[in-house]
Structure 1
Amino acid sequence: MSDHFVDRNRLWSRLDAAVAALPEPPPTPIAVVDLDAFDANAADLVRRAGGKPIRVASKSLRVPALISRALAHEGFAGVLAYTLAEALWLHESGVSDDIVVAYPTVDAAALRRLTSSPDAAGAITLMVDDPAHLAVIDAARSGDAVEVRIALDLDAGLRLGRQHIGPKRSPLFDTADVVAMARRVHEHDGVRLVGVMTYEGQVAGVQDDVPDQRTKSLLVRRLKQASMAQLEVRRREISDALAAVITLEFWNGGGSGSVEATAADPAVTEVAAGSGLLVPGIFDHYASFDPHPAAYFGLRVTRKPTPAMATVHGGGLIASGATGEDRSPVPWAPPGLHLTGLEGAGEVQTPLTGHPAALLRIGDLVWFRHAKSGELFEHVRDVHLVSGESVTEVVPSYRGCGLAF
C-alpha cells in the first residue's frame, strides 16, 4: 500500500476538488469512495482468488450500489449478509438472488417472512451451529411453510493444546460433532443442508507486517501458517465425513486477508471478501497483499486552539472490537496529522497535531480513514462516489435507505 506523503497530498487535493465542485457543500462527515481504488482492489481480489468465486461480505460495504458494483466484476458471485432482515431486503431490491446469512438468526419476524416466501427461501441460506437454531425456525413457521436452505458454521480457530486462537463463533469443531449436526439437519423436516462455512478470522483479519513490530509480526505469520495447515487437514477430514451424509452446494471460507491461502484449499469452493474492497485502517500492513485505500470521510476544521493545532468537528467514529488505538479513525490527508493522546477522536470535536495542523485554516477539510470497513456508513446517509477529481454519483448507504440492520 502506498502511503507516501506525496500521494496523500495529491489525494487531499483531489478529494477537496471533487467536493468543492458540488452544487452545495455536503454536511460532515462527508463519506467518499474512490471508485478507481475500489475497482483496482476488486481486480486484485479476483486475481488472489485464483479462479474461485468471491462472495461479497455486505457487512464490510453497507452501500447497495457498492455491493452491486462488486457483483458486476467478473469473479464475484453472491452475497454474504449479516442479518436475515438485510438478506430479505437485498433480495427484494434485486441486488442478489444468492445470499448466505453469515450468522445464526433468532429474528422471528424475519423468519416468518422467509418461510412464507418461496422466492426468498430459494435465494437465501441460513446459518446454524446448534439444534436450537432449528427450533427457532420451526417456531416461526405458519401453515404450509416453504423449505429453508441451511449451512453449518464450523469453528475455524487454531487449537494449540487447550488454547483456542481465533473468533469465538461456532461450537462445532470436532468432525464427529459436525457430522452429528449435519445428520440432524438432514433429517429435520422443512430444511435442507446445502453448505458449510469456515471463517478463519485469526488469519484473515490480523495484521502481520507492522512497522517497528518485527518480532510480533513474525510470530503472527507463523501462527497464521500453523492455523492454515491445521485447518486444511480439518477441512479435508470433515469434507470426507460429510460426503457420506450429503452433497454440498458450497463450502465458504476466508476473508480479505487470507484469500490466496483459503482459495488454495481443495475443500473450499468459494471465498468471502468485503474489507479488501474499501481497505480500512486495520487492513494496513499485511504481508499477503498490497491494497489501495478506497473509503474516506471528511471533517472540517472549526477551531484553532493554538497556532500549531487544528480542531475538526466530529470524528469519534470508533470501530467495534476490543478497544484500542487500532479502533480509532486515522487522520490521513493531509499527511502528518495525529490525534492527541488525551482526547483522541471525539464525538463532537477532534483536535489534531502535527506539522500540517499549523497550515490548516477554519473551514478546511481533513480526510480520515475509518478503522473497520463498512461501519463508516452507519454514520452517514449519502456516499459520494469519486473518480479522478469528480463526484460521479451520490448514492445512499443502508442508513440513507432508512434501514438499520
Structure 2
Amino acid sequence: MIDLSAAPAAQPWLTPAEYWQGLTDATSRLDPPYGVIHLGALAHNTHDMLRRAGGKPIRVASKSVRVREVLDAVLALPGYEGVLAYTLSEALWLATDAGPDRTGIRDVVVGYPTAERAAIARLARDPELAARVTLMVDSVAQLDLVDAVVAPAEREPIRIALELDASWDGPAGHIGVWRSPVHTPAAARALAAHVARRPGFALVGMMSYEAQIAGQADDPAGRPAFAQTVRWMQRRSKAELLERRALAVAAVRELAELEFVNGGGTGSLEFTSEDPSCTEIAAGSGLFGGHLFDNYRGFAPAPATAFALSVVRRPKRATATVLGGGWIASGPPGADRMPRPVWPEGLEFAPREMAGEVQTPLSGAAAEALRVGDRVWLRHTKSGELSEHLNEFALVGEQGVVGTTPTYRGEGKAFL
C-alpha cells in the first residue's frame, strides 16, 4: 500500500544530481523502458496541493493519474474528496466494489458528457452505481440520449451536474477551451430548469474549468513579453469569472440544492480556493509533477514520476539514440508537449526528429559520454500520457525500489 500520510522532511529532487543518480542506482536491475514513482516526491506534492487549496476539498482528476493505487492513497487523506473521471466506463469501474481489497469509490463525477450507451444502461439499472456516479451535461441533447437508452420509468434516478463555460470572451475573442456552450447565468438557469422538470434526473452539481488560468503557464521560459500578456489576461479573466460564476451558481441554486460546485485545476488552486461560489477544486496533474508546471510562478511540484530509456545507438560522437521516447502530451503540437530529457543534463532532441515513437536521437556534450546500455531519464509534460505507455510503475522509497503498482493499462483498462 502507498502511504502518503506525512510529507517528507528531505527533498532530494532539489539537488538534481543526487535525485536522478539516486533513481538510477535504485532501479539499476530494471530494463528500460520503465517508469518510477518517487514516494517522497509524491507525498510532498500531495500535501503541498492541500496547502495551496487552503482548506477547500480537492476532487482528484483521474485522467492525470490513471493509477488506481495512487487514487486510493490520495483519497485516504483528509482534504481529498471524490474523483473527477474522464469517461463513464472509467467511472463505473472506479465506483464498483471488487471485494475486500478494493472498495469502490463512492463519489465519482464524470467530467465530460458521455455517449457510451452500454455504460449508461449499466448505470441506470444499478442502484449502487447510480448513487455514486454523476454525469456531466451541457445540453438537452445529452439528457435525450440517456432517455433513449433507458426510459425514466425503467431506471434509477441519474445524478446530473451542469458544466458552465469558464472561458473568457476578451478583447481578442474567445480565450480558454471549447467545452460547454453554457456561458451566461441565464443559460445555466435555463438548462437547470429543464433538468429539474424532467423525470429520471436529479440535478446535484455544477462544474467550470478555467483552463486559461489553471492550464496556462504564466512564466514561460525565455518569453518575458508573452508572460506579461498571459498575466494581464489572467488578471482580467479571474475578475470576470468570479462575478459570472457567482451569478450562475446563484441562479441554479434557486432551482436545485447543489451538493457541489467544482472549479479550477492544479494551476489555479489558490484562485479557486478563494472563490466563494466553488465548494471544491479539481486537480490531478500536480500529484505527478510534469514539466508543464516548471513554467508557473506560484508553485513548483516535485518531479514525482519519470521514465527511463536505454541508449541503443551511437550514430556519431555527440549523439546517443535511445529506444522509444515519443510519449507526447495532448494539446497544440509543440516542444512544450514533448517529454523532456533531464538526466544526464545537457541533452537535446534532434530538430528534425524530436521524440520518436521507436527511437529518439539526443545530442549535446552529455551525449558524448553515453554508451550503449546507459539510461536516460525523461519527464513527461502532463501526466496521463505517461501512464498510458506503462503497465506499471516502480515505487521508489528511501531504501530503493519497494514495490510496483499497475497503471490502468496494466490492469487491462484503456478507457480513452
**TM-score grouping bracket, smaller chain normalisation:** over 0.9
Aligned partners of 1:325, 1:175: CA distance in 2, in Å? 38
Corresponding letter in the other structure for 2:272: T
Q: Which residue of 2 aligns with 1:13?
A: 21
Is 1:401 paired with 2:405? Answer: no
Is 1:130 paired with 2:164? Answer: no
Q: Which residue of 2 aligns with 1:116?
A: 125
Corresponding letter in the other structure for 2:89: A
Do 2:293 and 2:300's aligned partners in 1 also have CA atoms closer than 8 Å?
no
Aligned partners of 1:365, 1:378: CA distance in 2, in Å? 21
Do 2:328 and 2:385's aligned partners in 1 also have CA atoms closer than 8 Å?
no
Do 1:5 and 1:335's aligned partners in 2 also have CA atoms closer than 8 Å?
no
Where in structure 2 are the equivalents of 1:153-172 lying within 5 Å? 153-161=163-171, 163-172=173-182
Q: Which residue of 2 aligns with 1:86?
A: 90
Is 1:99 paired with 2:108? Answer: yes
Aligned partners of 1:218, 1:111: CA distance in 2, in Å? 45
Aligned partners of 1:11, 1:77: CA distance in 2, in Å? 31
Offset, 1:282: 1.5
Do 1:8 and 1:334's aligned partners in 2 also have CA atoms closer than 8 Å?
no
Q: Aligned match of 1:77 in 77, 81, 84?
A: 81
- Any idea what the Cα deviations from partners look like across 1:91-138, whole Å, max 9, x if unmatched? 114241100000000100000110010000000000000000001111
Offset, 1:363: 0.5
Aligned partners of 2:194, 2:13: CA distance in 1, in Å? 57
Q: Aligned match of 2:55 in 51, 56, 66?
A: 51
TM-score by length of 2: 0.93
Q: Which residue of 2 aligns with 1:244?
A: 254
> Aligned Cα RMSD in Å?
1.6
- Any idea what the Cα deviations from partners look like across 1:315-359, whole Å, max 9, x if unmatched? 111111111111111001111111111111111111111221111
Is 1:325 paired with 2:335? Answer: yes
Offset, 1:235: 1.3
Aligned partners of 1:210, 1:326: CA distance in 2, in Å? 10
Q: Which residue of 2 aligns with 1:371?
A: 381
Q: Which residue of 1 aligns with 2:313?
A: 303
Number of equivalences: 399
Offset, 1:364: 0.8
Q: In the superposition, relative to structure 1, how do residues 266 and 281 fare at CA in structure 2: closer, same or farther (>3 Å)?
A: same
Aligned partners of 1:315, 1:240: CA distance in 2, in Å? 48
Higher relative contact order (CA 8 A, sep 6+): 1
List, as ranges, runs of 4+ consecutive aligned residues in structure 1 with deviation greater than 4 Å. 3-6
- Any idea what the Cα deviations from partners look like across 1:240-260, whole Å, max 9, x if unmatched? 222221121100000000000
Q: Which residue of 2 aligns with 1:351?
A: 361
Corresponding letter in the other structure for 1:112: A
Is 1:261 paired with 2:276? Answer: no
Offset, 1:6: 8.3
TM-score by length of 1: 0.95
Structure 1 unmatched runs, 5+: none
Corresponding letter in the other structure for 1:273: A
Name whichever of 384-393 and 75-84 sits farther off: 384-393
Do 1:64 and 1:95's aligned partners in 2 also have CA atoms closer than 8 Å?
no
Offset, 1:74: 2.0
- The percent of aligned pairs where both chains have the same amino acid is 47
Corresponding letter in the other structure for 1:63: V
Offset, 1:378: 0.7
Aligned partners of 1:128, 1:242: CA distance in 2, in Å? 14
- Any idea what the Cα deviations from partners look like across 1:69-89, whole Å, max 9, x if unmatched? 211222111000000000000
